[in-house]
Amino acid sequence: MTRPLPVINIKAQSNHHALFLMLVSVVIALFTFIFSQGYWRQFHLVIIFIYLCALVIFITGLAKYLEPKYSLSLNPTGIKYQHRYGQWQVEWQEVQRISLINETSGLATIQLPYIGIRLLNLSSLADKISPRLANRLIHEQKPLVAFAMSQKLLPLEQSLINFEPFTLSSGEIITGPLAAFLHHCALLHQALGYHLYLPETAIDRDLNEFCTLLTQCMRASTKYN
């Protein structure tokens, strides 16, 4: 009988306190409703403001609650990143390097709030990411492009979204959002040295600690081949 592969599931920081926020908003709205029964005329503007604040808190909690239960799943085969817009996954054997992203600016070293993943071949990602997520990540990673431009790692004309078809190493031509994302990955690789970027908000611990965990998982994967 084949034993199931061990899996490490990671909960994103952005999921924390979802139910708590929703509960707080309900309690605030309830107490405000009770208070308003006798003081609506005197304090109606304040009461409306409190209701709006409660609504914002509830929506924030709901957004957190609707995020995937786990942002990352690590197993001996590879790594899977899960987002409310879709997912991507790569096998460890397709990964060349995993590292923190440190850039030098003058005499200072800047650590970006991401972990970088460099692939052996960008083409391997083409059928392992959902088009909807590919489109979303282009916009979520605009701060990386802006940083690269500020450090003169990218010229302005290259920072624009590239909608041209992308040709894989196999000769297959990719179009649409997926092509734009592959161009985006190639651009960031040119500027910062990595194709994929795990944001700090998607992990449950210190960046350096999580980077070490990923590296250990990649090394340990060879024992399962």
Residue 34 Cα to chain centre, angstroms = 41
Where do the structural domains in the chain lie, given as residue ranges? 13-65, 72-224
Query: Is residue 199 a contact partner of residue 222, using CB atoms and an 8 Å limit?
Result: no
Q: Which residues of 7-33 are buried (b: 16+ CB within 10 A; e: fewer)?
A: eeebbbbbbeebeebbeebeebbeebe
Going residue by residue through the chain, which has 225 residues, state the pLDDT in tens, using 9 for 90 and above: 445 667 888 887 766 677 888 888 888 889 888 888 877 778 888 888 988 998 898 888 887 777 778 889 998 899 999 998 999 999 999 999 999 998 877 677 888 999 999 999 988 898 899 999 999 999 999 999 999 888 888 887 777 888 899 998 888 899 988 999 999 999 999 999 999 999 998 888 889 999 999 999 898 887 765
